[in-house]
Structure 1
Amino acid sequence: MTSLTILYVDDDHQHRDLVAQALTGAGHAVTQAADAAAALDHLTKSPFDCVVTDYNMPGDTGAAVARQARVLNPRATVCVVSGHPKEEMTDLPTGTLLMTKPFSVPLLLDVLTPR
């Protein structure tokens, strides 16, 4: 399996830590961010293979993170995770993957793994 660099963005500290630990345990390098502003800062400093972001966060939404990730690295896999209906997230950029919360880490790994 290829080791990926993953930016994981979620304002829920416990959920973020749990998922990041599982992704790290699977052999990936994970950078965590608690909100869109921190994620955007990370995106301007480092390239990531994958960006996984919660949609509903204080400040900017995950759509802002997804848009900037697409601009800075069009080849990155970008996935938004949310408990909100897809119809409420009309501002996601084309090509953004969408997963419903709650999700399993094995499913997330399957979605992120290049084919």
Structure 2
Amino acid sequence: MSLEHEEKYLEIIGNNDHWALYKFFLLFPGVGQLISLLLVGDTIECNLLPPVEAEVWGAVIAEVNSGGKCGLVQLELINKDSAKKADIQLAFAELFNYISDKMPWQTQ
């Protein structure tokens, strides 16, 4: 990572800007939407960024339009052909909250 990239990364982390970090990772060769999303998740897991609400992840999943959306379709939580961003966001948040409620060892 160049000094310029490192400075930009530190600025984004300092601003707690998850979406900017997602777009930043996309600038690197070979990093697509899914890898960028996973890197943001890893950054959160490392406590470099604060966690985000399930609704925010749902919006990102709708934007990425990849495996997360396919999973929601397979679980029959959304309709593949007619689901809009808000539908995907809500379905993911409801699923996340349901699973979180069933996992008492998980920190909230």
Query: TM (normalized to structure 2)?
Result: 0.30
The higher-RCO structure (CA 8 Å, 6+ apart) is 1
- Higher Cα radius of gyration: 2
Structure with bigger strand share is 1
